[in-house]
């Protein structure tokens, strides 16, 4: 989840969903509230169990390590081989949409999926707002990014990209700028407390409808990840090769990376099925 969240257009919530930990994650985050704060001092064991901190600690540690490692690697890969990076994640998200969508009832998937698809495709046309990086911007950006991160179709990194804060946050991760990271983390904590309650309420009452909409949203968002693009235009592999001077081998390598992205998520779903 930490690794994919570095890339704009890819959601850590997608990984949580296909690996079977999504509902536990939302419920654990939503369990925090003013009424339980005092338990931290008066009854630490109850506080630990009530908030499922064993689960959240393991997940948080894995994500923290992954973010610190992959923030620098992804920055390098996006600069040196962006087409391959987008190809890998295009395959990963494509399989995610198929895996989530095939479990939905057609009577809900068709209308809500189409609506979500239009919203996802339209999001790619929105221009970045160009918010000036600063403590308040990073606080609000962190809250909104976590709201997107919790959805198994929307990328927190993409929200930061739309706000114009992606470069400053990624730079802070790569350079270990702790003041910026601390403010951003506080925003993330506030966003997690707010949005997890909202999503828990929606999932408890309209689970199939929400998942059908998110399937379409994920599929529509694939336009943002299309690897064969040049100067903002979406091209076929052949057109991309002529426009960039790349050979057939380069286009074929992108297809291989797409297969690896889809295959990695397929493997995760098989592991989840075996565990169940």
Query: What distance in Å separates the CA atoms of residue 274 and residue 270, rounded to the nearest whole number?
Result: 6
Query: What distance in Å separates the CA atoms of residue 232 and residue 226, rounded to the nearest whole number?
Result: 11
For the chain, give the longest Cα–Cα distance.
68
pLDDT recorded at residue 66? 85
- Return the number of other C-beta atoms located less than 10 Å from residue 13's C-beta: 26
Query: What distance in Å separates the CA atoms of residue 30 and residue 116, rounded to the nearest whole number?
Result: 25
Query: What distance in Å separates the CA atoms of residue 259 and residue 247, rounded to the nearest whole number?
Result: 19
pLDDT along the chain (276 residues), means of 10: 73 78 89 82 89 93 84 77 86 85 88 90 70 86 87 75 83 86 92 88 88 86 82 81 72 88 84 71
Classify strands 229-230 and 233-234 as parallel, antiparallel or unpaired. antiparallel
Query: What distance in Å separates the CA atoms of residue 159 and residue 144, rounded to the nearest whole number?
Result: 7
pLDDT recorded at residue 153? 65
* Residue 143 structure tokens: 């809250």
Query: What distance in Å separates the CA atoms of residue 196 and residue 22, rounded to the nearest whole number?
Result: 11
pLDDT recorded at residue 214? 82
Q: Which residue has the tokens 């009452």?
A: 205
**Each residue's pLDDT tens digit, 70-104:** 777 877 787 788 888 888 888 988 888 888 888 88
């Amino acid at each position: 989840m930490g690794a994919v969240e570095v890339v704009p257009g890819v959601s850590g919530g997608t990984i949580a969903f296909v690996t079977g930990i999504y509902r536990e994650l939302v419920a654990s985050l939503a369990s925090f509230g003013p009424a339980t704060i005092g338990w931290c001092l008066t009854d630490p064991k109850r506080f630990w169990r009530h908030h499922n901190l064993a689960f959240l600690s393991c997940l948080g540690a894995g994500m923290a390590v992954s973010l610190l490692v992959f923030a620098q690697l992804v920055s390098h890969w996006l600069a040196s081989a962006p087409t391959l990076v987008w190809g890998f994640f295009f395959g990963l998200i494509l399989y995610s949409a198929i895996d989530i969508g095939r479990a939905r009832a057609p009577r809900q998937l068709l209308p809500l999926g189409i609506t979500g698809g239009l919203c996802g495709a339209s999001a790619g046309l929105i221009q970045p707002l160009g918010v000036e990086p600063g403590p308040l911007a990073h606080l609000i950006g962190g809250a909104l990014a976590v709201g997107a991160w919790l959805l198994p179709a929307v990328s927190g990194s993409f929200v930061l990209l739309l706000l114009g804060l992606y470069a400053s946050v990624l730079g802070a991760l790569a350079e270990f700028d702790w003041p910026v990271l601390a403010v951003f983390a506080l925003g993330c904590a506030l966003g997690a407390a707010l949005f997890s309650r909202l999503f828990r309420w929606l999932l408890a009452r309209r689970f199939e409808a929400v998942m059908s909409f998110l399937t379409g949203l994920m599929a529509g968002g694939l336009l943002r990840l299309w690897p064969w693009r040049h100067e903002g235009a979406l091209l076929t592999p052949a057109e991309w090769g002529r426009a960039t001077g790349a050979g057939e081998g380069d286009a074929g390598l992108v297809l291989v990376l797409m297969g690896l992205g889809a295959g990695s998520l397929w493997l995760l779903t098989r592991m989840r099925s075996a565990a169940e």
